[in-house]
Amino acid sequence: MIVIYHNPNCSKSRESLEILETTKEDIQMIKYLDHTLGSEKLSKIIKLLKIRPIELIRQNEILWKENFKHLEFTDEELVEVMCKYPQLIERPIIINGDKAVIGRPPTKILDVL
């Protein structure tokens, strides 16, 4: 089963979902703004993505710029910030087994199919 952490208000997220729907795979869609991720789950996703937590943060978001950009954080603290403010999480995130990718651009999804 393919899992997509999705924000229906995001055009890249919608485009990624469209690509996934063309496959014959089962898809589990998680609207991560409605069902926030815990720190353990988010840490596992970051490991699957093979990135550092700062790379999953939408650093151009006003919330980040006004409240966090000027501060120093450990990786664990960044995970906690994303858990508390999920709108800062880059989207969409697609997971297929032990492979994961951020769907920017949406064609990156093909790397995990």
Q: Based on the number of CB atoms within 10 Å of its own CB, is 82 exposed (0-12), middle (13-18) or buried (19 or more)?
A: buried
DSSP 24: S
Question: Which amino acids are annotated catalytic?
Answer: 10
Query: From CA 18, how far away is CA 23, in angstroms rounded?
Result: 9
